[in-house]
Structure 1
Amino acid sequence: MKKIKVVYVVLALLATMGVFANKGNNIKVEKDLSAQIYEMLKQYPFELKSEDLTAEVRFTINNKGELVVLSVETQNDFLDNYVKSRLNYQKVDFEQGGPGKIYKIPVRITA
C-alpha cells in the first residue's frame, strides 16, 4: 500500500515538472529535480486515515543551489509545516534555473 502512495506522489511530481520542460537536455534535469524533491518528501511521519492530502508548493532556487519554499497552498496545516520543514533550504543539483525563477509543483499524499 505504501508503494502505491509513493508512486502517486512521484507521478504527480513528474507530471508537473513536464510542464516546465523546454527542449532536449532540460527534460532530464527537471526529472532529476522532481526525483530529488520526491526523495525529500517520501517518508512522511504521519498516518493517513482515508483522505488524500494535497498541496501546491511554490518555490525558487537561490544562488547556493538551495530550495526556498515561497508558499504551500493546502487546507491541512500539518502538511504545510511538513513540506516547509522537509524542503526549505535543502541543497539540490539544479543549474538550469536562475535566481528569481519561481516553480510550482503539486504534492499529493494518498491513504
Structure 2
Amino acid sequence: MKKLRTVSVALALMATMSAFATKGKKATKENNLSGQIYEMLKDNQFNADHKDLTAEVRFIVTEKGELLVLSVETKNDVLEGFVKSRLNYQKVELTNVAPGRVYELPVKITA
C-alpha cells in the first residue's frame, strides 16, 4: 500500500513538472494564419438577411507574404465578393508559411 502511494505521488510530481517545463510561445490569434484572416474579415456589414453564411476559401501565400485568393466556394455572391476584396493581396506576417502552397480555410459569417 505504501509503494502504491509513493508511486502515485511520484507520477503526480512528474506530470506537474512536465507541464511547467514546456517552452515556447502559445499560438495566438495574432501570430497564426487563420487568426490574421479572422481579423481581416471580422468587421463586416452583413445584415440580418445574411445569417450564417459559409464559404470554403482556397488561397496561396506569395513570396512577398501576400494572400492570393484562388477560389471561394459559396452559394452567396455577396460573401464571395466580400472575402475576395478583404483577403486578396493582403500581407500576412508569418515565418512558418510555405510560399506557393495551397491553403484551404472554412469561413463562417454569423450575424
TM-score, normalising length: structure 2: 0.69
Q: Secondary structure of the equivalent of 2:27?
A: helix
Q: CA RMSD in A?
A: 2.4
Does residue 42 (structure 1) correspond to residue 66 (structure 2)? The answer is no
Instruction: Determine the structure 2 residue equivalent to 1:28.
Output: 27
- Structure with the greater relative contact order (CA < 8 A, sep ≥ 6): 1 or 2? 1
Which runs of no fewer than 5 residues in structure 1 stay unpaired?
1-23
Number of positions where the alignment pairs a residue of Structure 1 with one of Structure 2: 88
TM-score, normalising length: structure 1: 0.69
Instruction: Determine the structure 2 residue equivalent to 1:94.
Output: 94
Give the Cα–Cα distance (whole angstroms) in 2 for the partners of residues 48 and 60 of structure 1. Answer: 32
Give the Cα–Cα distance (whole angstroms) in 1 for the partners of residues 98 and 51 of structure 2. Answer: 37
Which runs of no fewer than 5 residues in structure 2 stay unpaired?
1-22
Give the Cα–Cα distance (whole angstroms) in 2 for the partners of residues 48 and 103 of structure 1. Answer: 30
**Structure 1 residue 106: deviation in Å?**
0.5
Largest Rg, 1 or 2: 2
Q: Is the 8 A contact 2:65 2:99 kept in 1?
A: no
